[in-house]
Structure 1
């Protein structure tokens, strides 16, 4: 009977049907694995796995791993890191990230930080874990969330961030998207104005969740020792700007217990990369896991670092400032301008159609007036669609280039210039016609030219009327 039960347990473990049995999902015979459940923000029950070295011994340090962006990211996304840290003597909790309340346009770092603290409590309660030596590790978005959790619980023993940011998510995202376009060879106003303007518009319109998250303000409240790690080929977070920003924010709060390290050739997650950061390899950067384990053992034993900030790697290009929008560039002002364009540009041909139906045709002041609404509408609508397409994917495709300018963008710029030039021709013709222009036609032309007058600064702001 005992043999039968043992065989049954072995088969269930192979099939993955015994998650509660320590070791059922461990990676290697030297580790144990046990599934746990815990309560996050709002009473949401989350599930995870604790990996730890097999065998008895002194209570060991523990670490909760906090993943990057995305809803419902499964725990196995960080299994490589978890196994590497556990093999070096740490108890590691990985868990399935929440999907409730988390979308592309809506998320709360506060809620995520509450989930992290729930995981910390669960790991503290595990046998063999020293509850006074449990800390947090955060990757990418987790680099905002993990320090926030630590700032709320002084009992968190330490903080590790990988590919973290001490700047707003909006500024980081602009740098990320701009980097991708630069690698594709793009230069000019699409980068300098179009992408930045579209990101700020999205933030103003509430389409960019946590865009203005105050990362420096949170870091100034972190009192625990902090280890920051960046790959020199990080293409998502600027590895040359963030470490000094981290140091400045921590020091402002009186915290000098930090260590920053760079791994040559490693990507955003400190993994090896075969192509300079675009593709993530399966293996961690050599020495990365050893550094984390040794640093955690040191700080949890009372050996605290003192402001260790080596020189950052060379800078490819700086992150652009993304200050709050002025009233004239806010989402409301942009929406009002577009509404004016659509009304004026669509109203001109519609009025002509109504006249034709009523057989009350009026000779146009200038045939160039027909080009203004067509070119203007195409430039406005096409520009918006193109910018949306570039922001929709992780690897934006700008299309064929000419002298660093995407052909699509050049075509949109050509339409914008054509609309303005045609409007100038209409204005000259109107002046020459003088009082001979019928009253109804004057109203129609006046609205068309007024919209074009607004279109000029609008087009310059978005980069459609500058090189």
Structure 2
């Protein structure tokens, strides 16, 4: 049936009048919550009663120009497309509200519906990645949204998606073992628990189940940021009216790719045309491609246990730094070679771990250097230092037992506290 439908679409595309070769732009402004947003309507010149499409951004900072090429492609197919600059007020790496972003999209929908060339009953929303959470949420709030298009949308919570994506990135770099587990689980759970990861528990399923509008969901089979197989299954099982398509050699943004990580010139063949034909003539029945395979399923990011709160982790970190620095700074009291080793290895291990943590958060593991037996050299070095801390702690305990010195006792306390801390963060794991 799909082959017949595609053949019919090709015939219609060949026999239909050619769309205008260029697009006309119109500047618009609209407001939400006291914030004025600016955009551009890209539409075929001279068009009337056109369907409209509001493009909702993916995560991060975006301007309207990031989506202009697609808007122009849609305009050539007879669609008036509104692209706009994403808000900066109230949106950052550590703070954002999908509810506010959805209301921004709805304000854009109302601005587009007022355009004279647009049919107000045929205006919908398009959302990429993070927009795949936001666009359905906007549609669920308004009867003025006629349809929804998503690219690389998630059926799982943001924290769960991020954990899956982080592990993909690290494994691509050849990493395995404790660092991968720490980065994709422990570090992320601490970010969520500490409030540094916005909207971590947003559940898209109730919103999807509430939609009455037709939904066109599109995924790249080689997506490494969104678990595509799970997303297709969740959308298929949650939506009342859906068209779900998977492009075999496409990545997260439906760009052509070889492995999901590189981005070749151009979009997946058929993507732009499919959106144009679907928006102009939404089908009345549901259909879905088979979910693409995933190397592994995503895993839920569990809340922090009673012994894991972020404030406690920070307190332990400060204590370790103070305890290891205490011995060389305080000269009164007996000295011992194991204590000198303990303070040196302890400080290097803790500070080295902090540097690795920052590099992982900023660059998804890039910049950590060569990988040996599944571990980048800096991580391997910190693990070896951690073993040195354990050995030096035993030696310092013997020295403290002999001298019962406060100077040695503080260093020993640091070594004792270091062991469970290092186990928790994977420094003493395989």
Residue aligning to 1:105: 94
1:426 to 378, 396, 421: 396
RMSD: 2.1
The DSSP-based 3-state class of the residue aligned with 1:328 is coil
Q: Identify the range of structure 1 (156-165 vs 43-52) with the bigger mean alpha-carbon deviation.
A: 43-52
After superposition, give the CA deviation of every residue in 1:342-366 in whole Å (9 maximum; x if it has no partner): 2322222222x2x2xxxxx52x4x4
Residue aligning to 2:244: 260
Within 5 A, what are the aligned runs for 1:74-113? 74-113=63-102
The DSSP-based 3-state class of the residue aligned with 1:219 is helix
CA contact under 8 A between 1:30 and 1:54: conserved in structure 2?
A: no
1:278 aligns with 2:261: yes
Residue aligning to 2:276: 293
2:338 to 356, 361, 368: 368
Cα offset, 1:170, TM superposition: 2.0
Distance 1:233 1:395, change over 3 A: farther
After superposition, give the CA deviation of every residue in 1:65-93 in whole Å (9 maximum; x if it has no partner): 1121222x221211121122222222211
Residue aligning to 2:306: 327
Kindly report structure 1 stretches of 4+ aligned residues shifted beyond 6 Å: none
Cα offset, 1:240, TM superposition: 2.0
Distance 1:422 1:198, change over 3 A: same
1:192 aligns with 2:181: yes
Unaligned residue ranges in structure 1 (runs of 5+): 1-27, 356-360
Distance 2:197 2:366 in 1: 18
1:30 aligns with 2:13: no
Distance 1:244 1:316 in 2: 16
2:253 to 266, 269, 273: 269
Within 5 A, what are the aligned runs for 1:54-453? 54-57=45-48, 59-71=49-61, 73-248=62-237, 250=238, 255-273=239-257, 275-299=258-282, 303-306=283-286, 308-351=287-330, 353=331, 355=332, 361-362=333-334, 364=335, 366-393=336-363, 396-431=366-401, 433=402, 437-438=403-404, 441=405, 443-453=406-416
The DSSP-based 3-state class of the residue aligned with 2:189 is helix
CA contact under 8 A between 1:123 and 1:129: conserved in structure 2?
A: yes
CA contact under 8 A between 1:194 and 1:462: conserved in structure 2?
A: no
CA contact under 8 A between 2:23 and 2:75: conserved in structure 1?
A: no
* TM-score of the aligned structures, taking structure 1 as reference length: 0.83
CA contact under 8 A between 2:209 and 2:240: conserved in structure 1?
A: no
Distance 1:139 1:419 in 2: 47
* TM-score of the aligned structures, taking structure 2 as reference length: 0.89
Asked which structure has the greater CA Rg, the reply is: 1
Cα offset, 1:162, TM superposition: 0.3
Distance 1:394 1:186, change over 3 A: closer
